[in-house]
A and B are shown apart, each in its own frame.
Chain A
Amino acid sequence: MTVGHSGHPDYTGLAGSPSPARRFALVALIVLVFVGAGIGSAFAQAGDAQAGKLVYERKCALCHGEKGDGKGPAAELLVPKPRDFTTGVYKIRTTANKVPTDRDLFRVITDGMPGTSMPSWAVLPEKDRWNLVAHLKTLAPDTFKEAPKKLELPKEVASSPESIRRGKEMYEAIECNKCHGTDGRADGPSRPELKDDWGNPIAPANLTMPWRFRGGSAPVDVATRLANGVVGTPMPSFIDSVEKPEDVWHLANYILSLGPRTLTYATLVSVTNVSDAIPDDPDAAFWKAIAPNHIALLGQVIVDPRNFNPSIDLVSVRAVYHDKEIAFHLTWDDPMQSVEDAAKKTYADAISLQFPPQPRPGPERPYFLMGDASDGVYLLRWQNGKGVTEATANGPTKIVPLAGSEATAKAVYANGQYRLVIKRPLASKHPDRLTFQPAVFTPVAFQAWDGGAGETGTKMSLTSWYYLRLEEPQSNRRFVVPPVVAILTFAALLLVVRVANRRA
């Protein structure tokens, strides 16, 4: 039963260990909350559907539609489509039947659905969110006639190398790869065929990016999705379809071992100074030692044709240089390797790095969307099947390749991921090609195209300007100077003491 503030420790904001000084206030607050629960639970339990309707009309109807049928004015731009509440079909449930608990609904409203257009509504007062829950239930009265039945999961198995190994074994045995791909990057052979229950194309989850899991990325969330399936999507229920019930935990542990739980995005792209030769092979061990800069990309929605649902939203950049060359190692997921093919309506997968043509003092930069007529940009572009080119651009539709490219590139595509190394001489005599200088903040931006998803031209994902900084060579002076200073100081001290002693 979902009741009151006290029943929802996750959302009270009271977690953490308070200082002794605050303890009294905290206890008082808890008592207050408990006392208030009598009143509080009244709306938490039942919620006020009428009040919820008013909140719904202000906050939800734009996407989910006035009647809750998922046909709001914004719906057509969204992938996945907003939920049609009149069907009573809910993806994220902790129940064994099709009826979500009030708390399941409350959680989605509060946390949103990562990786979709559904944001967190934690900004709304808790009371409003419970009222929304009550209103949603009135939109599918038939579904909510039945009581939610709690899903009983087997006892949790903590993650361990053994559990992860067993999970991998099960992953292969039950063929998760058919949709989610061998390495979990959503590139399985069934991917292009997948449709939801309403006939809309739907992509499987990229299991290496748990921060985008719709229903959360805690082991219990993943195990619940596996056990229950995701209703309305191709994801089936597996609780009766694993060898042993506890395999859902092993699978969850394996899946969560495929990628980091969260990602720290870079604010600055730092370029490491190296003395060794820079390898061309993107899979060389050399690159693993370089820290990646994770860059988030968004759909290009300024110029027609726009890209409201970009395929690529993350590029990890490793960058190094030495006195002659600079190299960029780029890693990004793309579910299908594609080249330009008019018959299949696919285009070449591509990525580009954008710089001002020359270093410039001051904060002024060209327009981030590939420059404009008066202030252009310099591009290092790589296209699958064509390789790397250098170009200048005065806007996204005015790209002019530069003759005599000095850049080289080597790409690897495997299991839904591109890894690419682009190299270029550090300096260039050509006025349109940037000369990279150490210790200077150089503007850089990124653009990416998933040609298999029909992305080409202005249909791209991109970033605004970031800064690139070539870290200065690490000299050995830092190991020499401080000890010398220390020794000299100590010697001076001894001298002072000795002189003082002699005088005394």
Chain B
Amino acid sequence: MRRALGALLAAALVAGVALFVHRPGPVDAQGGGTVEVAVTYNGAPVVEKLKINKDTQQCGTEAEVDRVMVGSNKGLANAVVSVPTAKGAPRMVKATVDQHGCKFVPHVSAMMPGELELKNSDGILHNIHTYSTVNPSINKAQPKFKKVMTEKLEKPEFVKLTCDVHSWMLGWVAVLPTPFFGVTDANGTAKIENVPAGKQTVEVWHETLGKQTREVEVKAGQVAKVGIEMKK
């Protein structure tokens, strides 16, 4: 009896592992195509500046917060692009945000529901204070000796990161329901690879300019280009 149960358990375990291994993943060049998104903005960059009265050794004397960062050819940086209609296995990569120079680096990061790693390379007190609605809000101190902290963000949402000690510090973490995402670079472009072929929706989100979506036809082994202009 016990042996039978053991065998059954072993079989179940093997089956489970096999199932996990064979789960269809996004990394499948044959079945997927690439989506290249170019996000532009028709307005001027917005930079907030303020004088710093403390921790000037780490933070400098003037803080610059890029609320809207526009690069060459009107390219909009720091926009999150994703294909929410495409399903795939979760990318088990933690997002990592560093607190460096009294800034969240990167300013915008994207992840699937899971763990967010927070680094404090400044070596001074910061506090991670998140603003969210579906995830529980976090407000945890990260003193100089606490180099790394790990927090959970388990539901898709755009989470705002702030630090009350340095009120100008601002960052965003996009928790997305799909593994197909990217964040636009300084030129406003992002490349999402291995997107399953077929009709898909591309979503763009920006912290101050909101959201937009575009339909796109993804063909296996090809690059589908999407241009999206964000407006004031």
Contact = CB atoms under 8 A, between A and B. Distances in A.
A189 B54 contact: yes
A327 B101 CA distance: 50
Interface size band for B? 20 to 34
A139 B167 CA distance: 32
Interface size band for A? 20 to 34
Nearest to B131: A197
A4 B142 CA distance: 41
A236 B141 contact: yes
B140 A190 contact: no
Nearest to B52: A189
25 contacts: A173-B144, A173-B145, A175-B143, A179-B164, A179-B165, A190-B164, A190-B165, A190-B167, A193-B164, A194-B167, A195-B164, A197-B131, A229-B139, A229-B140, A231-B139, A234-B127, A234-B129, A235-B139, A236-B127, A236-B129, A236-B139, A236-B141, A240-B149, A241-B140, A241-B142
Interface string B142-154: 1111100100000
Interface of A: 98, 173-175, 178-179, 189-190, 193-195, 197, 229, 231, 234-238, 240-243
Contacts of A237: 139-141
B139 A194 contact: no
A98 B136 contact: yes
B141 A174 contact: yes
A99 to B, nearest CB: 11
Nearest to A204: B164
A406 to B, nearest CB: 40
Contacts of A195: 164, 167
A238 B126 CA distance: 12
A338 to B, nearest CB: 14
Interface of B: 53-54, 124-125, 127-129, 131, 136-137, 139-146, 149, 164-167
A178 B139 CA distance: 16
Given A193-B164, A193-B167, A241-B140, 13 more contacts: A175-B125, A175-B143, A175-B144, A193-B166, A194-B164, A195-B164, A197-B137, A229-B141, A236-B139, A236-B140, A237-B140, A238-B141, A242-B143
Contacts of A231: 137, 139
Contacts of A189: 53-54
Contact of A236 (B53, B144, B145, B164): B164
A162 B53 CA distance: 34
B64 to A, nearest CB: 16
Contacts of A179: 164-165
A197 B131 CA distance: 8
A237 B54 CA distance: 22
B187 to A, nearest CB: 34
Contacts of B124: 175
Contacts of A236: 127-129, 139-141, 164
Contacts of B167: 190, 193-195
A241 B131 contact: no
B152 to A, nearest CB: 13
| Residue among B143, B146, B166 with the highest chain A CB neighbour number at 10 A | B143
Contacts of B137: 197, 231
Nearest to B166: A190
A241 B145 CA distance: 9
